């Protein structure tokens, strides 16, 4: 209830939030960070919606709530160190609310609710107070046929990059979260943007062969650099588009194991400051060589659910 009250007090004094997100790296001013409190018991395998969680359940290594709460608290501390306004969802009993990026995303001044998996609909309730304070004209609810989650959507200045799966077996993949209808929807909603889609590799059973979202195999950083994993893309030409766009010298290619450990799912506080997992030694060394300030934190327990730092956040305002 503390988080709900905090939301209310902030929003009561700010009738409408001035949302502003045009890319992934401009200076962050306000963000929703998910919560690991009251995530409930270890789920049954049949109730999981990603292969990495299943793998850890079967291995007896599924993360403990207390450890994940500590990790998220450290993330919050780093965000506040850089004067970011951090909001947390109200806590729902026995509901996993860690991955705030799944449930909604902001582009420009539009707050777009995701059409998420039906058994996750409760998570939207926890940010209801924020949603209600967005200008009603800027609250966007996609039609039912549009499947989209925030992890697949990356605003990048003139572009909106979107991860999709368009195969006829789409309904068979619980890991397929964004469809081609979402691309058409975003093109209509943002006619001045170039909406560029990328076919992602999907697997319900092998986390090393599954790009759950676009941010599992790609993320832009700084002004002109990117992290990429080639095998996450089904179409080599689409992967090559990103290499050519950013320039091969500006791309950090990650291996299959690094993708599995979520190396592309770091988070930019600004064009020069990046939050990364402590164990990403090769990546963090390269980032520092490129001139980035790297804030290293422990986040590997949360990574056992096939999501990491970007997945945990819902940016609201960047400069």
Element (H, E) at 268: strand 267-268
Rounded to 5 degrees, what are φ and ψ at 194? Answer: -95, 110
Q: What is the mean pLDDT of the chain?
A: 93
According to DSSP, the residues that pair with 191 across neighbouring strands are none
Element (H, E) at 58: helix 51-59
What is the average pLDDT across 86-103? 94
Taking residue 95's Cβ as centre, other Cβ atoms within 10 Å add up to 17
pLDDT tens digit string along 141-198? 999 999 999 999 999 999 999 999 999 999 999 999 999 999 999 999 999 999 999 9
According to DSSP, the residues that pair with 32 across neighbouring strands are 87, 314
Which pLDDT belongs to residue 119?
67
Which pLDDT belongs to residue 49?
86
**Strand pairing class (313-318; 28-33):** antiparallel
Instruction: Decide yes or no: CATH 1.10.3710.10 for domain 2-318.
Output: no
Report whether 220 contacts 23 (CB < 8 A). Answer: yes
Going from N- to C-terminal start, the domains of the chain cover 2-318
Band (94; pLDDT cuts 50, 70, 90): very high
- Coil vs helix vs strand at 278: coil
Which pLDDT belongs to residue 2?
41
pLDDT more than 70, % of the chain:
95
Which pLDDT belongs to residue 132?
86
Which pLDDT belongs to residue 265?
98
| Cβ-proximal residues to 184 (8 Å cutoff; 6+ apart), any chain | none
pLDDT at 6 over 70: no
What is the average pLDDT across 235-262? 98
pLDDT at 109 over 70: yes
End-to-end CA distance of the chain: 30
What is the average pLDDT across 262-277? 98
pLDDT at 255 over 70: yes
pLDDT at 221 over 70: yes
pLDDT at 7 over 60: no
Report whether 217 contacts 233 (CB < 8 A). Answer: yes
Nearest to 231 by CA among 266, 191, 196, 259: 259
Nearest to 297 by CA among 259, 269, 257: 269
Angle CA 19–23–24, to nearest 5: 105
pLDDT at 287 over 50: yes
């Amino acid at each position: 209830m503390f988080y709900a009250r905090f939301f209310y007090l902030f929003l009561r004094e700010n009738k409408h939030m001035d949302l502003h997100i045009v890319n992934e790296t401009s200076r962050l001013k306000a963000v929703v960070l998910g919560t690991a409190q009251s995530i409930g018991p270890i789920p049954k395998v049949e109730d999981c919606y990603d292969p990495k969680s299943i793998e850890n359940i079967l291995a007896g290594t599924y993360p403990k709530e207390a450890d994940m709460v500590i990790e998220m608290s450290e993330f919050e501390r780093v965000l506040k160190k850089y004067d970011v306004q951090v909001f947390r969802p109200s806590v729902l009993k026995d509901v996993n609310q860690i991955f705030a990026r799944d449930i909604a995303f902001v582009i420009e001044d539009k707050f777009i609710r995701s059409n998420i998996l039906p058994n996750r609909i409760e998570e939207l309730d926890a940010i209801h107070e924020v949603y209600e304070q967005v200008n009603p004209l800027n609250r966007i609810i996609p039609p039912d046929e549009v499947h989209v989650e925030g992890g697949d959507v990356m605003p990048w200045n003139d572009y909106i990059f979107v991860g999709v799966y368009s195969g006829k077996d789409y309904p068979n993949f619980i890991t397929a979260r964004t469809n081609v209808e979402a691309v058409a929807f975003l093109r209509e909603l943002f006619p001045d943007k170039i909406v560029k889609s990328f076919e992602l590799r999907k697997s319900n059973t092998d986390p090393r062969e599954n790009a759950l979202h676009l941010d599992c195999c790609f993320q832009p950083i700084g002004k002109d650099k990117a992290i990429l994993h080639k095998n996450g893309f089904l179409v080599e030409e689409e992967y090559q588009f990103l290499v050519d766009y950013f320039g091969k010298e500006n791309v950090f290619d990650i291996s299959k194991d690094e993708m599995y450990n979520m190396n592309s799912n770091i988070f930019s506080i600004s064009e020069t400051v990046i939050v990364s997992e402590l164990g990403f030694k090769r990546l963090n060394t390269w980032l520092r060589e490129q001139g980035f300030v790297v804030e290293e934190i422990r986040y590997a327990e949360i990574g056992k659910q096939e999501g990491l730092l970007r997945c945990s956040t819902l940016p609201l305002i960047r400069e």
